[in-house]
Structure 1
């Protein structure tokens, strides 16, 4: 797989698996210094910047761009961390094709946020 920034992809150990989940998609939004600018960009547009906010935006994008993926991804985010479980490597690859170009850098994410209505989001 090519670069996955800002996400870390990992195989779920058996004790972390829920249902059919095989892979985790994570962004350590609170502790990773490389993601500090993301937090401030989320705040600039009135969003929380924690894991639930990332998750809400990602699921909204998937709902619009690739709704079939929603059946294959489950969210377990906390304030400190985005954490999504995916049921297959194919799901992870499809997720990355849709989401990673938007989150790959602050400029791309800023462009996405500039087209959103903050009142449509809760986190």
Structure 2
């Protein structure tokens, strides 16, 4: 029953998210600068959340959040925007340069999150070379 509820919720949410014309307090981004401003606003909210999460949660949680954010940016844009052409990040020509920039930024976030987590784990274990096998082991 839980699985049925989760599947139903996914489709209802997806329907309302993609079909309904979204307005923020009656505002609609119509010009190129307004659309870019909307994307910048979203990035600012994300950065504020990242700072907040870094202060509140553990380093491992923050690194996981960083990786998840990067995966979402890269995967969503490549698969749903480019491969299946379901929607674009904006409805204007600025999407042609915004999307590749965000894919690269997402890849950087994934790399940074994984790198920082590995560094954190190495420092916690006191071993600087965890990736090297121990002699005599398989």
TM-score, normalised with respect to structure 1: 0.28
**Which of the pair is proportionally richer in strand?**
1
Larger-gyration structure (1/2): 2
Which of structures 1 and 2 has the larger relative contact order (alpha carbons within 8 angstroms, sep 6+)? 1
TM-score, normalised via structure 2 length: 0.26
